[in-house]
Amino acid sequence: MRIRLLYIFTAILFASAVQAQEKAPVIGLSATYETGENNVPNTYIISVRKAGGIPVILPVTDDPQVIARMVESIDGLILTGGEDVDPLRWYGEEPIPAMGGIVPIRDFFDIHLARAAVERGIPVLGICRGEQVLNVAFGGTLYQDIPSQVKSDKPVKHRQNAPREYGTHSIIVTRETTLFDILKDVLDKDNSYRVNSYHHQAVKDVAPGFVVSAVARDGVIEAIEMEGNPNVLGVQFHPEGPVSQGDDRLLSLFLHLIKAAR
């Protein structure tokens, strides 16, 4: 009898564990493809796991049907960082000399992935290039190169020479936005926060239906979010950097995504 009860108890524990694991939402991570290989930095994977999600790498493809099936299989989406977006194809601007490298198939993949996820009602977090992709996917444009195109009497260095977990410049978060609600517990008195920075492109014309939720001191847009949809937002900085190294002040961004994905 005791052995039978032990088996029953063990089975109940196992079933509970499986059920708890099944409740963890599956978060798709868009892969980079610059070298012809599908990769995602481990910092994203660690951050999703810390927030309670199951990370899955989504390999790059230019097949719309495959992209649609990918979106059907995930509960949330993170558009990761990486290369520049082709300006001529995606927002009708000739490339300037200072523009960086592009990967056409990844542009197609990320932009169609973003559109499909939003259409299906799946929460989306765009990070760095991911924020830029969100903006372009819905009709916005980019500064192809901040140093040569953005003029400010308070210039800010947006490509740091420092560890990824270290913040080098501040952003000002706009009140009454989703981002403010997510970060309000870590903001300074002037609603600022110190972030890391690894980019030379940035949002220029904000896509219709999106609003700005944070800017740098030089006016460069550091975050956007969809009006009326608190589960679609993009940030120019890399929250996965500090989170993966044990600094959980920006973990709330991933927790917000996981909560929405549930």
**What is the spatial distance between Cα 162 and Cα 221, in angstroms, rounded to a whole number?**
21
**C-alpha 149, offset from chain centre:** 24
* Residues 180, 181, 182: CA angle, nearest 5 degrees: 90
8-22, 64-78, 101-115, 147-161: least confidently modelled range: 8-22
Q: Do 208 and 171 contact (CB within 8 A), yes or no? A: no
Spatial CB neighbours of 258, under 8 Å, sequence gap ≥ 6: 25, 27, 48, 51, 52, 53, 76
pLDDT tens string 46-55? 999 999 999 9
Question: What would the two tokens of residue 245 be?
Answer: 């190294």
Look at residue 6 in the predicted model and tell me its pLDDT. Answer: 38
Owner of token pair 């679609």: 232
* Residues 261, 255, 48: CA angle, nearest 5 degrees: 80
Owner of token pair 């796991």: 49
Look at residue 203 in the predicted model and tell me its pLDDT. Answer: 98
Mean pLDDT over 140-149 rounds to 97
Distances (CA, A) of 252 to 88, 114, 205, 247: 36, 21, 27, 11
Look at residue 22 in the predicted model and tell me its pLDDT. Answer: 56
What domains can you pick out in the chain, each with its CATH number? Answer: 24-261 (3.40.50.880)
**What is the spatial distance between Cα 73 and Cα 75, in angstroms, rounded to a whole number?**
7
Look at residue 34 in the predicted model and tell me its pLDDT. Answer: 82
* Residues 89, 95, 100: CA angle, nearest 5 degrees: 100
With a cut of 60, say whether residue 120 has pLDDT above it.
yes
Question: Which residues are annotated as catalytic?
Answer: 128, 238, 240
With a cut of 80, say whether residue 8 has pLDDT above it.
no
Distances (CA, A) of 90 to 108, 131, 136, 152, 196: 9, 15, 7, 27, 27
Mean pLDDT over 173-201 rounds to 98
Look at residue 135 in the predicted model and tell me its pLDDT. Answer: 98
